A and B are shown apart, each in its own frame.
Chain A
Amino acid sequence: MSDDATYLDLHVHSAGGSDDAGGTVEGYLKWIAARRALGFRIDGFVVTEHRRFDPDPQLDRDYAALAARYEATVLRGVEVETDIGHVLVFGVTPEFLRGFDLTSVSLPHEDVFRTAWETGGVAVGAHAGRPRIGCVEHADERGVTLEGVGVIEALNGGSNDYENGRAFDLAEARGLRVVGASDAHFVSALGRCLTRFDRPVRTMADLVGALRDPAAAYVPMHLDDTKDGVAPRPRPSGAPASLPASSGMGNLGSDEIEYDRSVVGREIPVGRFEVTHELINGFCEAIGQQNPLYTDEAFAAQGPYGGIIAPPGIAQAVRMDPAPNPRVQFGRSPLMAGQRHEYYLPVRPGDVIEGFAQVKEVYEKTGRSGRMVFVLRRTRYANQHGEDVAAVETTSVHREVKPLDEEA
């Protein structure tokens, strides 16, 4: 292995810039240190937030200073959304930014690839094998020529093997170069897939120079294969797999959506319930929870709480009256896109829990299934002493879905 080789993860989201991510830049750097200690090779990563790029160069200096403490490289690009799926742009300049509204979810891809190139940068088709938000489907099914597209992300840590396999197939058929990246939203996913460059890549100019250079040597790989002596695994197959059709649904990923703005921010009581042993037992049964701390009085009496407590989640699990409804005029009945559970105090049998709910926010994105509208609600739970014991924030997504039996 050449010491000049550089292992970079080219596609990473952080909690600071992507609302569906949980990893922080420093968290990722700590993870790099921990992985290196185990013999893996990873030299750095590129933060590519969804649909936003902070033009302030101070941010680059801040990231560079932080990265230096971990002897790593942290660079910044952006992941934009185009009419052939998501696209990573490296070497983002003020001139590039003047050309586009990054918040759009359907930028014209020819313009994005051409302008990136003409302004000294480079665009790369992200998670190319994914339905709708990757370019393979647009090339195969809509006959998009992909003119101007030179590099695609064929090995993506958030895609399944079949999706990645389709991307490699497309690259071979069209003579495209390929890179690998994790698409990490959470710390431990960093570097799961990355790109090995046979040259030093420490700056955005280095990275753009490599990706624009037809003679540059770089290959996608899995982190597991960066250890000394590990043989790289074969690339994934794009042969049709037995995936449920609904595997293509989901993935958090925008014309104005109508909804009732008057309910946003107004908290209302949504009911109360008493915590019983039956409720606790039923909850434990449903999730396979066998810890006697929640079900065995004699055992629990010896424990830190001197008696049975409810497992975390009991308040959030029980039905309350409906939270305020912003009456979003889009798509079908919503699914949950995410939840945040917070726990403050123990809940015991006999406690009476009251819920208070509000709508915090309504916003839009695109994903595997197209355009999506999100509603963020928060419910807090107080006990009979007026103390908050827990809370839940739930993001639900409204989508236009296709019934499976209507296509026949």
Chain B
Amino acid sequence: MSTATDPLAGQRYLEDVTVGDEFEETQQPTHDHVVAFINISGQLAGDGRFFDAAKARAAGLERPIVPGPMSAFMLTRLVTDWMGPLGRVLSLDVSYRRPVHHDDRLRCVAVVTDIIGDGDYQDTGEGAVHLDVTLENERGEKPVQGTAVVAMPRRT
């Protein structure tokens, strides 16, 4: 894909954001996605819980599971998609509360909970937007929950 349109066309600014704003994406991580993740990270290549049904069951898991960091990065992706190229993720803080299984249908949901520094955040004119971020599965469980902080530019 090399359509060099204006990268800032969809930029979101602090003035556009209100406490309570909610946004979401859907992800369904498959065996192939997990293997792709393990291949680039190499971190978990020896751990069958993440790709081998029998090894998962031996570890008390109904099905192979999605690595925690991969779930975290799905939430990071949700945030980067939303904030636009001028936004910066400052932190993401998550609890892995239940397993995420392969093929779970996941709602990645973020809610704006606070907007800090109307003007002078870190001398850059940016503001910090606080978000709650959650992965929710089709069983109504929230296996990954946490918070993210994003620096966003002002329009003026």
Contact = CB atoms under 8 A, between A and B. Distances in A.
A169 B121 CA distance: 51
A185 B114 contact: no
B101 A244 contact: yes
A279 interface: yes
A364 interface: no
Interface residues of B, number: 70
Given A279-B40, A337-B96, A313 B72 contact: yes
Contacts of B89: 312, 341, 343
Contacts of B20: 34-35, 37-38
Given A247-B141, A332-B59, A338-B94, A296 B2 contact: yes
B40 A341 contact: no
Contacts of A336: 67-69, 96
Given A302-B6, A336-B69, A319 B42 contact: yes
Nearest to A20: B95
Contacts of A303: 7-8, 85
Nearest to B115: A30
B33 interface: yes
Given A20-B95, A337-B95, A161 B140 contact: yes
B3 A299 contact: yes
B106 to A, nearest CB: 11
A288 B72 contact: no
A304 B90 contact: no
Interface residues of A, number: 73
A300 B27 CA distance: 25
A292 B1 contact: yes
Contact of A317 (B2, B73, B98): B73
A63 B95 CA distance: 26
A392 to B, nearest CB: 8
A333 interface: yes
A401 B60 contact: yes
B140 A186 contact: no
A31 B72 CA distance: 24
Interface string B10-51: 000000000110000001000001101101111101010000
Given A246-B99, A247-B141, 17 more contacts: A22-B146, A23-B113, A23-B147, A27-B113, A30-B114, A158-B142, A160-B140, A185-B145, A186-B145, A246-B98, A303-B85, A317-B69, A335-B99, A339-B94, A339-B96, A341-B93, A403-B57
Interface of B: 1-8, 19-20, 27, 33-34, 36-37, 39-43, 45, 47, 57-63, 65, 67-70, 72-74, 76-77, 80-81, 85-86, 88-99, 101, 111, 113-114, 130, 132, 134, 139-143, 145-147
Interface of A: 20, 22-23, 27, 30-31, 34-35, 37-38, 158, 160-161, 185-189, 241, 243-247, 249-252, 279, 282-283, 285-289, 291-293, 295-305, 311-313, 316-319, 332-333, 335-343, 401-405
28 contacts: A23-B113, A31-B113, A186-B134, A187-B114, A241-B139, A243-B139, A244-B62, A244-B63, A247-B141, A249-B61, A249-B98, A282-B39, A286-B36, A287-B33, A288-B27, A288-B74, A291-B81, A298-B2, A299-B7, A303-B8, A312-B80, A313-B73, A316-B69, A317-B37, A337-B96, A338-B93, A338-B146, A404-B57
